[in-house]
Amino acid sequence: MSSNIWHEITEDTRKLLITNENPKSSNLKTFRCEEKHENLRRSVIILESPECVIVNLFYHPKIEFGNLKGMPENLPNLEVLFIRNQEFPNLIGLPKNLPKLKNLTVVSSSLKNLKGIPYELPSLERFKIDNVPLESIKYMPKSIPRLKTIRITRTNIETLEYFPANAPVLQEIHLVRNKLISLKGIPSEIPFLKKLNVFYNQITSLEHLPSKFNKRYLSDRDKQKLIRNPHSIKLERNIEIFVWNNPIRTLSGIKFPDFFKRIIHYEDYYKNFQLCPIAIKLIDDYHDKKIRQETYKVNMSTDELITHAMIKDPAKYDAIVEFYSKTPMELAQQYIENPKSLSEGDIERLGWEGGYEVRQLLESNFSPENHLLNVISQRLTHKLPSGFSILK
C-alpha cells in the first residue's frame, strides 16, 4: 500500500474518515484527499469539522486494499475514527496507540472479524458496527472503561461470546437485526444500563437478560405502604428493554422481576412472542377485562397499574411465576430422573421450548422412540427443497 495514501494523517489528527466512494454520489459535504475537493449535498455530523481528515480510496483504483497497513503507528490525539464502504475483512493495521479515541464506527464494509483492534481503548465511549458481514465479536477490546454505547447492527453474529466483561459505565446496548440466538455473554450486572435493544434476532429465551441495574428498588416499608395503597408510590422507571420480533418461546430464567411483570402485563409483548398455549391461557386469565378497565379509569403509572392488577388477584400472577419457575434444562433433568413427576404444563413446555442442549441430553438418556424427544426433534428439524432434512 502506497505510503502517500495516508500522508494527511499526522499525530495531531483528531477526526478521520476512511472511505471508498464516488464523491459525486456521496452525501458527504466535503471530501478532502490528495488536494481534491468536492462540494456535496449533505454532511455526516461528526465529520463536518474542517479539521477532519478524509482518506478516499476511490482516488486509488489501481491499488488493492486488504487492510489498514501503512497507517501511522501512533495517533495520540485521534478522537473519531469512521470507516465506511471498505473491502477490509479485518482491522489489521489500525494504530495500537489510540489513547484519546472516543468514537469508533465501521459501516457498510466487508468486515468479517475485529482482528487488529487495539487491546485497550481507554477513552472509547461509542462503538458502532453496522451493515457488515461480521461473524464474531472476538478481538473486542478487553479494556474499555469509559464505553457508554455499543451498537452492533445488521451483522451475521449468532452469539455474544467475547462481549466486554468489564464496561463499568455502559449505558446502552443495541444489537438489532443480527442472527443472535441467545443473550448469553452479556454481563449479568450492568450498573448503569439504561437501554437494551435486541429487535429482529433469533433469540428464543431471555434467560441471560441482565439482572442487576442502577435502579431504586422499594424498601420494605415502601412495599408495605404500596400493598395498603397501590396509588401511593410511583415506581421509578429508568431502564428500557426492547425484545420484540424475536421467536421467544419461554419466559423462564428472567432474573429481572420488573421486566417479567411488564411482559405479562402488555398483550403487545407476550402475544408477540411464541409462548406455549398453556402459558398464553394463564396470562390471558390474569388479564381479567374488568380489572384492566378498572385500573385504567384512574391516573396511574405503568408500575402502579401492574401492581394494582397483581394485588387484585395475586393467585393468577403467582400461577404464571410458578409455571415458569424452572428452565427447560431443569425440566429435562427432572424428566430424566422421574418422567411422571412433570405436570401436563411441564411436558408441554419441555416439548415447546427444548432446544439443542435439551435434545442432546434426552438423546443420551432415552431411546429414539421417546415421544418427548421426537416432539423436540421434529420442531428443530427443517426440510430442504431437495427433500433432505437438517436441524435448524
Q: Over the stretch 5-53, which tens digit does the pLDDT of each residue have?
A: 888 899 999 999 998 877 665 555 444 433 333 333 333 444 555 678 8
Cβ contacts of 96 within 8 Å, gap of 6 or more: 73, 118, 119
Q: Judge whether residue 363 has pLDDT over 80.
A: yes
Rounded CA separation 269/241 (Å) = 11
Q: Which residue has the higher pLDDT, 254 or 136?
A: 136
Amino acid at 154: R
What's the pLDDT tens digit per position in 264-321? Answer: 877 777 888 999 999 999 998 887 655 555 544 444 455 565 666 665 678 888 999 9
Q: How far is CA 342 from the centre of its chain?
A: 33
Residue 101 banded pLDDT, cuts 50, 70, 90: very high
Where in the chain are the domains? 1-179, 214-324, 328-391
Q: How far is CA 324 from CA 270, 287, 305, in A?
A: 14, 17, 22
48, 260, 267, 299 from 296: Cα distances, Å? 48, 20, 15, 7
Tell me what the mean pLDDT of segment 169-186 comes to.
95
pLDDT given for residue 186 in this prediction? 93
Report whether pLDDT(229) > 90: no
- In the structure, what pLDDT confidence band is assigned to residue 227 with cuts at 50, 70 and 90? very low
Measured at the CA of 365, the angle between CA 364 and CA 367, to 5 degrees, comes to: 90
Q: Note the pLDDT of residue 62.
A: 55
Question: Rounded distance, CA 332 to CA 347, Å?
Answer: 9
Q: Give the three cell numbers for residue 149.
A: 454505547
User: Could you count the other beta carbons within 10 Å of the beta carbon of residue 75?
Assistant: 24
Pairing of strands 381-383, 389-391: antiparallel
Provide long-range contacts, Cβ within 8 A and 24+ apart, for 25-34: 28/54, 30/54, 31/56, 32/8, 33/8, 33/59, 34/4, 34/59
Rounded Cα distance, 207 and 254, in Å: 5
Measured between alpha carbons, how far is 101 from 82 in angstroms, rounded to an integer? 11
Q: Which residues contact 377 (CB under 8 A, 6 or more apart)?
A: 359
Percent of the chain with pLDDT over 90: 51
What pLDDT, on a 0 to 100 scale, did the predictor assign at position 348? 96
Q: Tell me, what amino acid is at 257?
A: P
SS3 172: strand
The radius of gyration computed from the CA coordinates of the chain, to the nearest angstrom, equals 26
* Contact call for residues 160 and 184 (beta carbons, < 8 A): yes
C-alpha 144 chain-centroid distance? 18
Estimate to the nearest angstrom the gap between the alpha carbon of 1 and the chain centroid. 37
Spatial distance between the Cα atoms of 152 and 129, rounded to a whole number of angstroms: 5
Long-range own/partner contacts, residues 377-386 (CB < 8 A, 24 or more apart): 379/351, 379/352, 380/355, 380/356
Location of C-alpha cell 426492547? 242
Task: Report DSSP letters for 88-127, one per residue.
Answer: -SS-TT--SB-TT--EEEEESS-----TT--SB-TT--EE
Instruction: Kindly state the average pLDDT of the residues 380-392.
Output: 63
Distance, in Å, from the CA atom of 241 to the CA atom of 363, rounded to the nearest integer, reads 36
In degrees and rounded to multiples of 5, residue 356 shows phi and psi of -65, -40
Which residues are registered as beta bridge partners of 143? 120
Mean pLDDT on 166-189: 93
Beta-carbon contacts of residue 374 (< 8 Å; ≥ 6 apart): 368
The whole-chain average pLDDT of the chain stands at 81
Pick the CATH number of 1-179 from 1.20.1280, 3.30.70, 3.90.350, 3.80.10: 3.80.10
Exposed (0-12), middle (13-18) or buried (19+): which is 157, by Cβ within 10 Å? Answer: buried
Q: What cell does 340 get?
A: 411422571
Please give the average per-residue pLDDT across 59-71, as a whole number.
72
Distance of CA 234 to the CA centre of its chain: 29
Give the pLDDT confidence score for residue 65 in this predicted structure. Answer: 63
Distance CA 40, CA 30 (A): 6
Q: Report, as an integer, the average pLDDT of 321-346.
A: 96
pLDDT band at 57 (very low <50, low <70, confident <90, very high): confident
| Angle at CA of residue 302, ends 296 and 306, nearest 5° | 80
